[in-house]
């Protein structure tokens, strides 16, 4: 017998809140709560996405410690937000500004945010895409080489990814998943990665 171990890029199980089961499988599929907000069915953190409103939506994303809800990180918005279309762990808010969609995608370790600019802005004009990050409770924010680090006291608990921008030409070549319909690799198994069947096959030149 050859011993082996599995490695994962994020949490795959979480402790049950009910006590009826010891551990539950992480399930990233989004569901709506009675107040209209969205949450994944099962996540290591308490994750909430805004459900949309004609009034001012203060925060579009909230990630809180399940054991200490006062300790949280929020992505601010501060303006109206359309009701999103939902597919698996992805919520798409169409036309948050003319010609710009906001996409939020829940991952095992947090939430990814994308802005999709669907039409080229006029010369000299650019969308005002501002979503401030805030922390409260035990969590504090710090800058580190162009990214934001979330700390719990002296301990780093999370950090943002380096911001990236790509254009339609690059997207046509690399087929970035955010512009493709969501699909789980195995239907009904939200624990597995998205399907890459429609991705290009790279060949050496």
Which H or E run includes 101? strand 100-107
The pLDDT profile of the chain, 205 residues, written as one tens digit per residue, is 555 555 545 555 556 665 555 666 778 889 999 999 999 988 878 899 999 888 899 999 999 988 899 999 999 999 999 999 999 999 999 999 888 899 999 988 889 999 988 887 777 777 778 889 999 999 999 988 888 999 999 999 888 888 887 776 655 555 556 777 777 655 555 444 443 334 333 333 3
Three-class SS state of 177: helix
CA angle, residues 119, 52, 64, in degrees to nearest 5: 110
List, in order, residues 6 or more apart from 47 with CB less than 8 Å away: 39, 40, 61, 62, 63, 106, 110, 111
Whole-model pTM: value is 0.77
């Amino acid at each position: 017998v050859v011993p082996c171990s599995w490695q994962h890029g994020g949490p795959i199980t979480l402790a049950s809140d009910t006590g009826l089961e010891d551990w539950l499988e992480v399930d990233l599929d989004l569901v709506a709560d009675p107040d209209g907000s969205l949450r994944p069915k099962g996540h290591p953190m308490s994750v909430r996405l805004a459900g949309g409103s004609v009034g001012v939506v203060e925060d579009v994303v909230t990630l809180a410690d399940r054991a200490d809800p006062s300790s949280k990180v929020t992505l601010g918005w501060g303006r109206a937000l359309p009701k999103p279309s939902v597919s698996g762990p992805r919520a798409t808010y169409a036309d948050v500004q003319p010609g710009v969609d906001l996409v939020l995608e829940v991952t095992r370790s947090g939430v990814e945010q994308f802005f999709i600019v669907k039409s080229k802005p006029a010369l000299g004009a650019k969308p005002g895409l501002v979503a401030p990050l805030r922390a409260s409770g035990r969590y504090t924010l710090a800058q580190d080489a162009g990214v934001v680090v979330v700390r719990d006291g002296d301990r780093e608990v999370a950090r943002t990814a380096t911001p990236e921008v790509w254009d339609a030409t690059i997207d046509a070549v690399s087929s970035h998943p955010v512009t493709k319909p969501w699909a789980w690799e195995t239907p009904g198994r939200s624990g597995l990665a998205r399907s890459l069947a429609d991705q290009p096959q790279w060949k050496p030149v």
